[in-house]
Structure 1
Amino acid sequence: MTAPTTPQPPRTPSAIDEIADAYVRTVVELNPLAATMLGIPGHDHLMPDLSPAGLAADADAARATLRALDDATPVDDVDLVTLAAMRERLGLEVELYEADEFHARLNNIACPVQDLRDVFDVMPTGTVEAWENVAARLAALPGAVDGYVESLRAAAARGHVAAARQVRLCVEQAREQAGDESFFTSFVRGESARAVLDGSAACQLLEGSLEAGAREARAAYGRLADFLADELLPQAPAQDAVGRERYTLLSRTFLGAEVDLDETYAWGLAELDRIVAEQEEVARRIAGPDASVEDAVALLDADPALQLDGTQALRAWMQETSDAAIEALDGVHFTIPEPVRTLECMIAPTQTGGIYYTPPSDDFSRPGRMWWSVPADVTTFNTWREKTTVYHEGVPGHHLQFGQAVVARETLNSWRRLACWVSGHGEGWALYAERLMADLGFMDDLGDRLGMLDAQRLRAARVVVDIGVHLGLEAPERWRAGADDPRWDADKAWPFLLANVNMPESFVRFELDRYLGWPGQAPSYKVGQRLWEQARDEARATAEAAGEEFDPRAFHARALALGSVGLDVLRGALAGTLADADGGAAR
């Protein structure tokens, strides 16, 4: 199967496209937060039903769509990819539901504790109507929290409770949102609101609704914190590890592929050693023939030309670096559609330590954005460390990947363009993009290259920690610290990460807590990169076997044109080996 690298005539939507589009309409009705994130209007005033009944409705929608797909016949290669991708993704949705993963979802980074607050970061705020939506959504937030508590309680009754570490972390986060200095208070009183609400009688009424909604939201988070601390925590297991059976399911979910976990763990150790050796060679070139990586880091950190003071300087530098990358890559290594040339770099209103990307809305009225959530104790930044992060979150990383899918309205249905997200595909591509920028000469500065390797080292280290802890594998002797039990756990993981992650301890602590509470997600970056590189190498081998020259630009265009799909589907689509349910080729 081939995907075009030049614009083609609009494709006539098929019956499978209609099924996919109908599923997206159902999803955004059931989950208004998804509608806001996707930029689909009409739902910004609502909150989802997170109760067991609401989660059952989500699963029923997936099952109904799978039944509809069973009766559908693919008419072309686009349909073949949609069919394979939806069966894989929606099948996993049902598996996760039946395994209680949605009912018991609780961790420090990706659960309703964060989702119900984070959605306000991407809501429109430029009109009075937009603030009316904010007020309505704030008023609906307590009901969503109550439903979430009901689901957590139901899962606990079946013996499914997150580890105590994650419960305690979420208690802290909920308490923060319940306090007088909560995000909700600052949000409704902030500059965005003041710029729109003009003091008229109608706006004064709306201001009162916003204040009441903020109070209700704070109170709801207070009740959530009490429930987590008083009822759920006593039932929570002390052990962080989830075990092989559950981890295998979660790994498949994040990768869209099934991998040999023991082989992947061994590869992670070997890959870490390889990256460290490359880092040490670069460090010697920076700081002298006997220098260590730590010596080179100290030298770079002491260079005032590579330092940024304060978050506004960080934001400005991120924007400048991102804009320069887009300008340099467009028309040379990639074809970047005009709407995708805009990327906004933002400082997040939270202080958790995360760095993330939010995609553009369906109509690009909300651009893609790169967010940096900076801990309160972090006030200086080093550009040599962070350039690779800009490429990861921006172009050619997430922003190019998401943007090219969103803009492909003439080819892809709305599920493929907007709603399908596979971590191993997306994060794997972004990490692949970091290394690609080095290969293209954008990281020839030795400091920038050391920073890129530093980021790659982090991603390799967390393959080791994540799989090692959750599967209870034996740690190498040098990381056992004299412990009687040779198996990985949080106590061994902490010094291991400190030795391999060149970040402030607050960042590292957040990262470790994330790995412990979100099993399988962190390895999807490096394992995803590995699978992307294998797909590229397979395409190169196929071209060379046919006596043709491999064209990386054409390969990247073909691959990104598919949208975000599971990595097994990606490789099948690129190799032309996908088939319909009866094993036939596209007709």
Structure 2
Amino acid sequence: MAAPRSRAYCRSVNQTPTRKPTAVDAIAEKYHDESLALSPIMATYLGVPGHDGELDDFSPAGLAEHAELRERTLRELGAAEPEDEVDRVTVSAMTERLGLAQEFHEAGLDAMALNNIASPLQEMRDVLDLMPTGTSEQWSTVAARLRAMPAALDQWFESLEQARGEGRVAARRQVEACIQQTTDHTADDGYFATLVRDARAGDDELSDDVREDLAEAVREAAQAYAKAGERLRADVLPHAPEADGCGREIYPLYSRTFLGASVDLEETYAWGQEELARIGAEMAETAERVKPGASVKEALAALDADPAYQLQGTDALREWMQAKADEAISELAGTHFDVPDPVRTIECMIAPTQTGGIYYTGPSEDFSRPGRMWWSVPKGVTEFGTWRELTTVYHEGVPGHHLQVAQTMYRSELLNSWRRMDAWTSGHGEGWALYAERLMDELGYLDDPGNRMGMLDGQSLRAARVVLDIGFHCGFEAPDEVGGGEWTYDKAWEFLGAHCDMNEGFLRFELDRYLGWPGQAPSYKIGERLWLQLRDEVKQREGNSFDLKAFHRRALDIGGVGLDTLREAVLAPSA
């Protein structure tokens, strides 16, 4: 059952005039509703109620249901007649996204999904962070979803077994990372233990019967995760290949999946190295501003030691994040961006996990759950440097993911539900967020040399992983700085360490992520490149009439479509 469409904000001065829904919109709405019925996890991520006590069917039969829905929808789209430019973009975007997902399924890549960050093992736990827990009834829903975990894990193993029978098994390094995660989550101080310990209904303690029900559900889920670790060790690990790379033949499919565009991989590999050198030169110039005569490494150390950039404790980190996010919204709204009223609220959160990741989750459709910026702080880390992280606030908040995702969610009078909620492409989304960081530098928000160094350090990481990810997985020759020849894990580690100044635990996790999730990490920097190219092309076409705010509004109103579709839509004569 679809969530009711919110009309609470349709009279805002920022709202696009109402557009009459079309036959194409009806196809998109039907697909949206049916796909969420098949994916309770995605429904919760999008804030659509009705399935919060359930989990996806990760079995081969469950994957086949998704494929059948996509195939049926593609046929309907092929027979539909677009009525306007919005329809034409919807047909183009859905055909591209659903068609690629079918290619991915037919290649058996969905059945073998297993890595350290974005596979069913993580998805079914991560979604718990978004579930409301303000009442006893809501905690009972959490308990229901926890009880669904044993069956969902069994279904996932059915798919892994099928994929293994067809010769597709994730690399050994990824299997070992997932085994370690099951150990961490089920430890005495792990996720499941702390979930029961910290559970409250708002400001009140849970009643004894609800807490007992939750504790039993947690025991069942924890036992299932422990069993999953054992099964991974016994049934999957012995068959896992040592080689980390996916290979040149399949990599283009991964790349297109994350970009919504085809790129020349050899040219992009060379560009990544050139971009890395350019950023390195800018870092050297900025180091001179931080500490005259200092090398980049010395300047970074000086910034780490400077009390002006230091925060102590996660409470201080969260408060600082919130203040900076609110400040950006206040100052950018109405100047460089149209920011609808409900989008002007973002919550900054410390995540209950300790992986070291930073991420954004969008608002619910009615904005009762706001967009949120999450910081998963590694165990034992209590000191934070704001010089590194200000650019991250802009990336995750405004003008980055929060503006992009939340304002698209808000455009209910212009876009159908699929365009607003489902159309997410990493190259579009992460590319925009990197573009947002660069824009804030252009607007003067990163003029402080420490804050600018933080932005450049992040850019260096993103450029480095273009090179590392494409080179490693496609088997291209490694750069001379690591000895050339074939990429190896040791060369990848040396390369990453040379171009990113972060702690070893974080970088090890990052490197494993790149090796286990081909094509995703480069989509940030490649996406930014394509966003900048699009802006330059529009600016050149419009000349003196070019308006940056209007460009942002027009481009973001299209939603998170693939980058080829985005370019076609922005450059269309009627745009």
TM norm structure 1? 0.94
Query: For the residues of structure 2 that align with 1:9 and 1:391, how far apart are their CA atoms?
Result: 29
Which residue matches 1:582?
none
Deviation at 1:193, TM superposition (A): 4.2
Are the structure 2 counterparts of residues 332 and 58 from structure 1 closer, same or farther at C-alpha, using a change threshold of 3 Å? same
Is 1:566 equivalent to 2:562 in the alignment? yes
Q: Is the 8 A contact 2:462 2:524 kept in 1?
A: yes
Which residue matches 1:580?
none
1:273 to 274, 277, 280: 277
Query: For the residues of structure 1 that align with 2:206 and 2:426, how far apart are their CA atoms?
Result: 43
1:132-156 Cα offsets, whole Å, 9 max, x none, are 2111111111110110011111101
Query: For the residues of structure 2 that align with 1:184 and 1:124, how far apart are their CA atoms?
Result: 17
Which residue matches 2:539?
540
Which residue matches 1:341?
344
Counterpart amino acid of 1:237? P
Which residue matches 2:447?
444
Which residue matches 2:334?
331
Deviates more, 1:266-275 or 1:339-348: 339-348
Query: For the residues of structure 2 that align with 1:100 and 1:152, how far apart are their CA atoms?
Result: 10
Counterpart amino acid of 1:478? E
Secondary structure at the aligned position of 1:381 is classed as strand
Deviates more, 1:218-227 or 1:421-430: 218-227
Q: Is the 8 A contact 1:443 1:449 kept in 2?
A: yes
Secondary structure at the aligned position of 1:244 is classed as coil
Which residue matches 1:151?
159
Query: For the residues of structure 2 that align with 1:209 and 1:191, how far apart are their CA atoms?
Result: 12
Is 1:164 equivalent to 2:172 in the alignment? yes
Is 1:364 equivalent to 2:367 in the alignment? yes
Q: Is the 8 A contact 2:136 2:206 kept in 1?
A: no
Query: For the residues of structure 2 that align with 1:182 and 1:154, how far apart are their CA atoms?
Result: 31
Which residue matches 2:414?
411
Counterpart amino acid of 2:532? E
Query: For the residues of structure 1 that align with 2:266 and 2:200, how far apart are their CA atoms?
Result: 50
Q: How many residues align?
A: 563
Which residue matches 2:390?
387
Q: Is the 8 A contact 1:306 1:382 kept in 2?
A: yes
Deviation at 1:413, TM superposition (A): 0.4
1:275-328 Cα offsets, whole Å, 9 max, x none, are 00011011112211x321112112211111111112111111111111111111
Deviation at 1:516, TM superposition (A): 0.5
Deviation at 1:39, TM superposition (A): 0.3
Query: For the residues of structure 2 that align with 1:232 and 1:470, how far apart are their CA atoms?
Result: 22
Deviation at 1:487, TM superposition (A): 1.4
Query: For the residues of structure 2 that align with 1:230 and 1:528, how far apart are their CA atoms?
Result: 40
Counterpart amino acid of 1:574? V
Is 1:253 equivalent to 2:251 in the alignment? no
Is 1:499 equivalent to 2:511 in the alignment? no
Which residue matches 1:77?
85
Which residue matches 1:23?
31
Deviation at 1:232, TM superposition (A): 0.3
Which residue matches 2:434?
431
Q: CA RMSD in A?
A: 1.5
Listed as ranges, the matches of 1:175-574 within 5 Å are 175-193=183-201, 195-196=203-204, 198-199=206-207, 204-288=208-292, 290-480=293-483, 486-544=485-543, 548-574=544-570
1:575 to 559, 571, 575: 571
Q: Is the 8 A contact 2:15 2:340 kept in 1?
A: no
Deviation at 1:192, TM superposition (A): 2.9
Query: For the residues of structure 2 that align with 1:8 and 1:464, how far apart are their CA atoms?
Result: 41
Structure 1: gaps of 5 or more residues:
578-584
Deviation at 1:196, TM superposition (A): 5.0
Query: For the residues of structure 1 that align with 2:404 and 2:274, how far apart are their CA atoms?
Result: 29
Secondary structure at the aligned position of 1:360 is classed as coil
1:36-66 Cα offsets, whole Å, 9 max, x none, are 0000011101111111100100111111110
Query: For the residues of structure 2 that align with 1:6 and 1:187, how far apart are their CA atoms?
Result: 41
Query: For the residues of structure 2 that align with 1:418 and 1:287, how far apart are their CA atoms?
Result: 46
Query: For the residues of structure 2 that align with 1:319 and 1:431, how far apart are their CA atoms?
Result: 20
Query: For the residues of structure 1 that align with 2:380 and 2:315, how far apart are their CA atoms?
Result: 15
Counterpart amino acid of 1:506? G
Counterpart amino acid of 1:511? E
Query: For the residues of structure 1 that align with 2:559 and 2:356, how far apart are their CA atoms?
Result: 28
Q: Is the 8 A contact 2:200 2:206 kept in 1?
A: no
1:38 to 46, 63, 86: 46
1:117 to 100, 121, 125: 125
2:94 to 83, 86, 99: 86
Deviation at 1:198, TM superposition (A): 4.8
Secondary structure at the aligned position of 2:552 is classed as helix
TM norm structure 2? 0.96
Secondary structure at the aligned position of 1:371 is classed as strand
Query: For the residues of structure 1 that align with 2:551 and 2:330, how far apart are their CA atoms?
Result: 21
Are the structure 2 counterparts of residues 101 and 196 from structure 1 closer, same or farther at C-alpha, using a change threshold of 3 Å? farther
Deviation at 1:234, TM superposition (A): 0.5
1:422-444 Cα offsets, whole Å, 9 max, x none, are 00000000000000000011111
1:163-183 Cα offsets, whole Å, 9 max, x none, are 000000000001222334332
1:488-517 Cα offsets, whole Å, 9 max, x none, are 221101011111101111111111111010
Query: For the residues of structure 2 that align with 1:476 and 1:56, how far apart are their CA atoms?
Result: 42
1:393-446 Cα offsets, whole Å, 9 max, x none, are 000000000011010010010011111110000000000000000001111111
Q: Is the 8 A contact 2:186 2:193 kept in 1?
A: no
Query: For the residues of structure 2 that align with 1:366 and 1:348, how far apart are their CA atoms?
Result: 16
Query: For the residues of structure 1 that align with 2:534 and 2:131, how far apart are their CA atoms?
Result: 37
Deviates more, 1:129-138 or 1:67-76: 129-138
Query: For the residues of structure 1 that align with 2:222 and 2:558, how far apart are their CA atoms?
Result: 42
1:94-113 Cα offsets, whole Å, 9 max, x none, are 11111111100000010111
Query: For the residues of structure 1 that align with 2:16 and 2:377, how far apart are their CA atoms?
Result: 43
1:68 to 64, 72, 76: 76
Deviation at 1:573, TM superposition (A): 0.3
Q: Is the 8 A contact 1:354 1:374 kept in 2?
A: yes
Deviation at 1:541, TM superposition (A): 1.2
Deviation at 1:379, TM superposition (A): 2.0
Counterpart amino acid of 1:250? Y
1:69-88 Cα offsets, whole Å, 9 max, x none, are 11111001110110000000
Query: For the residues of structure 2 that align with 1:118 and 1:42, how far apart are their CA atoms?
Result: 18
Counterpart amino acid of 1:101? L
Deviates more, 1:299-308 or 1:392-401: 299-308
Deviation at 1:549, TM superposition (A): 2.4
Query: For the residues of structure 1 that align with 2:380 and 2:508, how far apart are their CA atoms?
Result: 13
Query: For the residues of structure 2 that align with 1:8 and 1:190, how far apart are their CA atoms?
Result: 43
Q: Indicate the percent of aligned positions where both proteins have the same amino acid.
A: 57
Is 1:57 equivalent to 2:61 in the alignment? no
1:505-544 Cα offsets, whole Å, 9 max, x none, are 1111111111010000000000000000011011011112
Which residue matches 1:581?
none
